[in-house]
Homo-oligomer: A and B are copies of this chain.
Amino acid sequence: MTNFFERHRDLLERAVQAWRTREFWTPFPETPSTKLYGADARRDGHAAYEALLGAAFALPGHPEAARLGSERSPWGQDLAIRYPVAPPEALIAASQAAGATWGQAPMQARVGALIEALIRLNRMSFLIGEATMHATGQAFPMAFQAGGPHAQDRGLEAIAAAWIEMTATAQMALWEKPQGKSDPLVIEKQWHLVPRGVALAIGCNTFPTWNSYPGLFASLATGNTVMVKPHPQAILPLALTVKVLREVFAEAGLPQDAVLLAVDAPGDEITKPLARDPAVAIIDYTGSSGFADWLREHATQAIVFTEETGVNPVTITGTDDFEGMCANLAFSLSLYSGQMCTSPQNIYIPRAGIATDEGHKSFDAVVAGIVAAIDCLLADPQAAAAICGTIVNPATLEHVAAARHAGQVVRQSGETGAGRSATPLVVVIEGDGPGPQDDECFGPVSFVIPCEDAQDAIARASGIAARKGAITAALYTQGPELIAPAAQAFAVAGVNLSVNLTGNIYVNQSAAFSDFHVTGANPAGNASLTDTAFVAPRFRRVMIRWPKAA
């Protein structure tokens, strides 16, 4: 049996160090380059993807009562892959049966196998990228990064955080208590790390691997078995993940059913019966606050970790690089057509305009600058498709259409010409009444909101983050005097703030090992990827103690 832990111990230690220092680090190159991934990687990945289409997906030994699958790519293709399906009770039973050995395996065995699986998934990143592209409608470069190496980073980060916590306290101790003139009391103590039980990882449509890996790998590392429940339209990336994990577990002499795929059909989802099952002790969920509320109300037997709805604000009070700011925002607004949980939505600008390196710019001029930058960025249809990707959920197009009536449209949403697409709609909101800008409007929709002044803009931006949740906030400012109060306001609102981003770094980006994704301090979610609070409650310490024999 391969000792994966010894093989990957250095990598784990490097990951632990990165987690602590929050400096840049990754073992998984983000560029889809054949120099890095091998000369044949692109071709092989594509061939592997093609071979999966229209076929039964092989998951040897997996519970299976039937086959199911109706994935259709937003780029236009029917995947027609048929996955094994089993009723919830069969999945629970298999997961519990595997749990008896998985939970008692040495943590080194589990952690070693999980890192090995991530490394194999990394080698498959072209296939994962293509699978992610067609599950999510992202363009390939983004699908490769977000579905492959960036997700693998998040998985490794979760393993590192779990490892840190599992090894934070001694696993055995000799407790010697002085007894005055008598001999000391000497007690031997040992602690077992006991998992919670069965975990449920509920995947989303837009980032099936990136958003699922933290909970998946954290639960597995800490000894829980996991049922992976993909979105019915985004099964393949997680099916590949489950397949690789099961293969490695088998090689390591660990129970394959420690990870299961819980496939269902749209309209006939098994999420609710799985989530309410008394055996399910942990739930990781990414999606709407509505369903998160349902989970909190009904799955009270489980700890529920969530990433939910939010309204990400941009506050523009000034800039030393007007062109750079507009270009940067244009990219952030266009990338994957605003379908990232980190995409900006509301843009707060003083009504009187702002000071810039190009002199004073009126409110209208600032808005015009952003619109022009979007137009420029998306002028070439091929570039537009490569940045915007497609719209994963047809309902999003209806939201875009409805948002047109919210105010003055300063940029119409168009199409890129590839797949089901929509480029950014930009709407200036007149007046201070309630409107769609008060809630998440998922997709390529931005609302520009005129404010009294810079302070008012910061107050409104941080206020909506606190009230409605936000994962990201951006601030542009010319003088340093606004930074401290803004930092304070957004800290209290519990939202990570990016200041004066220009060039090749975007507010949407959240790098593993450095950026905690979601703070857990506002309604946009209670889980912070990946802090200790995300891993520590997944297992418990149970002691056995006895007097040391004299």
Contact = CB atoms under 8 A, between A and B. Distances in A.
Interface of A: 19-24, 104, 164-165, 168-170, 173-179, 185, 187, 189-192, 194, 196, 296, 300, 483, 487-488, 490-492, 494-505, 511, 514-516, 519-521, 528, 531-533, 536-537, 540-547
Contacts of A104: 488
Given A179-B504, A541-B528, A542-B491, A194 B22 contact: no
B543 A533 contact: no
B490 A547 contact: no
A142 to B, nearest CB: 17
Contacts of A194: 491-492, 494, 519, 521
A32 to B, nearest CB: 14
27 contacts: A22-B169, A22-B189, A23-B173, A23-B174, A23-B176, A24-B175, A24-B176, A185-B504, A189-B515, A191-B516, A192-B487, A194-B494, A194-B519, A483-B544, A491-B544, A496-B543, A497-B544, A497-B545, A498-B546, A499-B546, A500-B546, A502-B547, A505-B547, A520-B537, A520-B540, A533-B533, A533-B537
Contacts of A521: 194, 196, 540, 542
Contacts of A499: 544-546
Contacts of A543: 496-497, 515-516
Contacts of A488: 104
Q: What 8 pairs between A and B have smallest CB-CB spacing?
A: A533-B536, A499-B546, A22-B173, A521-B540, A192-B491, A532-B536, A496-B543, A533-B537
A474 to B, nearest CB: 10
A185 B545 contact: no
Contacts of A502: 547
B23 A175 contact: yes
Given A173-B514, A540-B519, A20 B192 contact: no
Contacts of A165: 532
Nearest to A179: B504
Contacts of A503: 185, 547
A19 B173 CA distance: 11
Nearest to A520: B540
A520 to B, nearest CB: 5
Given A185-B504, A491-B542, A175 B22 contact: yes
Contacts of A545: 496-499, 515
B540 A528 contact: yes
A494 B505 CA distance: 47
A21 B170 contact: yes
Contacts of A540: 494, 519-521, 528
A454 to B, nearest CB: 17
A22 B170 contact: yes
A541 B519 CA distance: 6
A173 B545 CA distance: 42
A463 to B, nearest CB: 16
A469 to B, nearest CB: 13
A541 B514 contact: no
B20 A170 contact: yes
A542 B492 CA distance: 9
A282 to B, nearest CB: 13
A412 to B, nearest CB: 32
B547 A514 contact: no
A331 to B, nearest CB: 14
A528 to B, nearest CB: 7
Contacts of A169: 19-20, 22, 531
B23 A496 contact: no
A393 to B, nearest CB: 30
A168 B173 contact: no
A2 to B, nearest CB: 27
B175 A496 contact: no
A303 to B, nearest CB: 9
A524 to B, nearest CB: 12
Contacts of A531: 169, 536, 541
Given A190-B487, A516-B543, A532-B532, 13 more contacts: A24-B175, A169-B531, A175-B511, A187-B505, A496-B542, A496-B543, A498-B544, A499-B545, A500-B546, A519-B542, A521-B540, A528-B540, A531-B536
